[in-house]
Amino acid sequence: MDNKRNKIIMLEKKLDKEKAKAKHLEEKNRLLKYHNQMIDTNNNQLNMNNILLLKKIRNRDEQIDQGSIYARRIHHNAWQVGRDGAD
């Protein structure tokens, strides 16, 4: 009888340990889900920022291209004026 009682007590302790482990794992899982959600939110924000920065870069590249074209025209016009004056 004592042997059965001891076995029951041992099994109850084991069950309590397993319950504590399960509770700990559930909390850890909840925190991981929250952490993943925060990472997703941050990634989405970074993606939006990257898209905006890429648009700005494209606009600046277009401005540089336009400036380069304008500079070539000015250079060509100056060359024409210098050439016309030499004649």
32 three-state secondary structure: helix
To 10 degrees, the CA torsion angle through 75, 80, 83, 84?
A: -150
> Which pLDDT tens digit goes with each residue over 22-78?
999 999 999 999 999 999 999 999 999 999 999 999 999 999 999 999 999 999 998
| DSSP letter, residue 18 | H
Q: How confident is the model at residue 85 (pLDDT cuts 50, 70, 90)?
A: low
Name the band, by pLDDT with cuts 50, 70 and 90, for residue 86: low
Structurally, the chain folds into a number of domains equal to 1
Cα 9 from Cα 27, distance rounded (Å): 27
Which range, 2-11, 12-21, 76-85, has the best average confidence (pLDDT)?
12-21
Q: Which domain holds residue 66?
A: 1-87
Given a cut of 60, is residue 87 above it in pLDDT? no
Please state whether the predicted TM-score (pTM) of the whole model is above 0.75. no
